[in-house]
Amino acid sequence: GESVGLHLPTLSVQEGDNSIINCAYSNSASDYFIWYKQESGKGPQFIIDIRSNMDKRQGQRVTVLLNKTVKHLSLQIAATQPGDSAVYFCAENIPPGDMRFGAGTRLTVKP
Amino acid sequence: DAGVIQSPRHEVTEMGQEVTLRCKPISGHNSLFWYRQTMMRGLELLIYFNNNVPIDDSGMPEDRFSAKMPNASFSTLKIQPSEPRDSAVYFCASGDSSYEQYFGPGTRLTVT
- Taking only the tens place, the pLDDT of each residue in B27-72 is 999 999 999 999 888 888 999 999 999 988 888 988 999 999 999 9
Q: Please give the Cα distance from B4 to B94 (Å, whole number).
A: 7
- Quick one: pLDDT at residue B56? 84
Q: Mean pLDDT across chain A, nearest whole number? A: 91
Indicate yes or no: CB of B91 within 8 angstroms of CB of A89.
no
Per-residue confidence at A1, pLDDT binned at 50, 70, 90? very low
Judge: B105–A43 Cβ closer than 8 Å, yes or no: yes
Residues of A in Cβ contact (< 8 Å) with B100 = 34, 46, 49
Q: How does residue A6 score in pLDDT terms, banded at 50, 70 and 90?
A: low
> Which of B39, B48, B99 lies closest to A32 in CB terms?
B99
| CA geometry: angle A13, A18, A24, nearest 5 deg | 85
Contact B42 A104 (CB under 8 A): yes
The pLDDT of residue B86 is: 96
CA atoms A46, A51, A57, A76: torsion sign: positive
User: For A83, which DSSP code?
Assistant: G
Nearest CA to B29 out of B61, B51, B60 is that of B51
> What pLDDT is stored for residue B59 in this prediction?
86
pLDDT at A80 over 80: yes
Per the CB < 8 A criterion, the answer to whether B38 and B55 are in contact is no
